[in-house]
Structure formats: structure tokens, C-alpha cells
Amino acid sequence: MSDATDPWLIVGLGNPGPEHAAQRHNVGFMVADLLAERIGGKFKRAQKAQAQVVEGRMGPPGPANRRVILAKPMSYMNLSGGPVTALRDFYKVPTDHIVAIHDELDIDYGTLRLKLGGGDNGHNGLKSMTKSMGSDYHRIRFGIGRPPGRMQVADFVLKDFSSTERKELGYLVDRAADSVECLLEEGLERAQSAYNS
């Protein structure tokens, strides 16, 4: 069982490369980038995994201050499990101290849901993580809504956010980053009651 001194591994899920940077599927990377900025770190290549990482501390001074590793797997989304498992093993992170931040089709745009464990709901990044290490990790699900009309899901998630969505995106990414900090400092129940909508 994990304890307060164990590090946390915060994983933003996405696809590497500038052509994917603004896509709905990459909202996990956007939140990870903001968290890195908040702790004053820059992503660099991990030695032991196909990922970029930032190490630092999150939270106020004192007992709520947490050692964190922020990570962006540099495999493609459907292979995220390999890099995340390698980082978990290298940094000795208990599985319940891993947080995956990802896009979620079945929730309205901008809605957040935090949970521990559960299924992958067809999300290839989660599917790969669960296959590699089981499902007992935290998820921060960032709603992107369903595709309009007959658009295929794969096309929808690999499109950039619409101009209307982009007006709110900065605020929503900020709120998702806040929810990660709340989860680490105050626990899942407090974070759920503050951020689940």
C-alpha cells in the first residue's frame, strides 16, 4: 500500500509531434505542460522510458507537499502503457499514485470527472496502460463530447479543437490542472466534490 512519502506520476496522454499538438486527443499533454510551468520545470527526455519528464514538487510547504514526476509518453497513444510502466518501475511509484489525464468522448466538452480504477471506455491510451499494469490508477477525464453527425470517432479526436471550444480551452485546462493539485493535496473525495460536474 502506498504512503504519503511515495512519489506521484502524473501522465498526460497524447500523441507526439507538432501536427498533433492542438488536437482534442492531446488535451492530456496540454494539462501536463501547464503543470510543468506551475512547478517551474521543463520537459526533457527520460533516460529509462520513451517519454518526456519533469521532476519537482507540488503543493504547499509541509505535509501536503508531494514529490511528482510529470510525464508525456512519446510513443503513440495506443502504446502509452510501455513508457508509463517503465517510469513507474524506475521511480518506484505505487499504481494508485499514478494519474492519467485524458480526453473523454462520453462527457460534454469541458466537463471533468475524477476517478480511481474502472474500464477504459474504448480509449486506446487507457487500454494500453491497463494492459501493462492493471486498472488501479487515477484518471482525470476531460470531456470533449461526441463527434457531430456521422463523423468517425478517430477523425474527431484527431482534429483540433473548434474555434468556439478554443475560447474556453485555456480556462478548462487550467481547471484540470487545479484538479490534479487538489487530488494530490486533499485526496480523491475532496477533488471529486470540488471538480466533478
In angstroms, the Cα distances linking 162 to 23, 87, 112, 148 are 10, 34, 19, 12
- Alpha carbons 86 and 82: distance in angstroms, whole number: 6
102 is catalytic: no
From the candidates 25, 97, 102, 123, give the one annotated as an active-site residue: 25
Residue 60, judged by CB atoms within 10 A of its CB (0-12, 13-18, 19+), counts as exposed
Q: Which amino acid is at 102?
A: H
Closest residue by Cα to residue 191 from 171, 167, 169, 175: 175
Catalytic residue numbers read 25
